[in-house]
Chain A
Amino acid sequence: NAGVTQTPKFQVLKTGQSMTLQCAQDMNHEYMSWYRQDPGMGLRLIHYSVGAGITDQGEVPNGYNVSRSTTEDFPLRLLSAAPSQTSVYFCASSSSQGRGYGYTFGSGTRLTVV
């Protein structure tokens, strides 16, 4: 069971470039989300989804887009990269069912924007 898989693990972008961070889970979880982690600030929610076709904004959504066409995949798109988007990005998924709830995290994507 692979859990939550994120690709790539590392990426360097130039300012203004666009890219997509990939996230896939094989646990049939309804809930998926994207967080960014910056030193001293913990993790902050970017976007989340409660099921295929349903997404919503989190705390820091500006500059990012998401879509969820399947249960398994939840890609995060950077529209025009900025140095402020240099961060570590984590994707997570969770069951919606009672005590099965609890987010499982991927291993992260370290993004540097120069």
Chain B
Amino acid sequence: AQSVTQPDIHITVSEGASLELRCNYSYGATPYLFWYVQSPGQGLQLLLKYFSGDTLVQGIKGFEAEFKRSQSSFNLRKPSVHWSDAAEYFCAVGARNAGNMLTFGGGTRLMVKP
């Protein structure tokens, strides 16, 4: 069965600082991988996704993520955080079968200090 672990429940960074959110997954083959962001009281917005090919994936809002098969990781990065990035971030793995259902990690809440 597939699973996702986000080791950090809360992270606080200063505005302008770099950010890395960790994600580790378990899946029997090459997975589909996703990062979503959720602002308070809102639904989930897709930041980026990995299917195959180039292991460095660019997303919206200046985010990128790197797929590392040897480490079963798909960490999310941003070089300079803005106050508007404060939100909860979810990593998810998608099954490569009918429905491609997502399994989510528990989420990381990002706080940004001025």
Asked if A12 CB lies within 8 Å of chain B CBs, one says no
Q: How far is the CA of A72 from the CA of B101 in the complex (A)?
A: 18
Residue interface bits A70-114, CB-to-B below 8 A is 1, else 0: 000000000000000000001010101011011111111000000
Instruction: Give Cα A41 to B44, complex, Å.
Output: 15
Which one of B98, B99, B105 contacts A33 once the chains associate, using CB atoms below 8 Å? B99
Min CB–CB distance B63 → chain A (angstroms) = 15
Chain B interface: which size bin?
A: 20 to 34
Question: Across the interface, do B99 and A101 meet the contact criterion of CB distance under 8 Å?
Answer: no
- Bound form: Cα–Cα A44–B102 in Å: 9
Contact between B105 and A103 (Cβ–Cβ < 8 Å)?
A: no
Tell me the interface secondary structure of chain B in the complex.
strand
Q: Does B27 contact A (CB under 8 A)?
A: no
Number of residues from A at the complex interface, CB < 8 A: 29
Known: A90-B44, A105-B45, A108-B43. 6 other contacts (CB 8 A): A33-B102, A35-B104, A58-B101, A99-B51, A101-B51, A103-B34
A contacts, CB < 8 Å to B: 4, 31, 33, 35, 40-45, 48-50, 56, 58, 90, 92, 94, 96, 98-99, 101-108
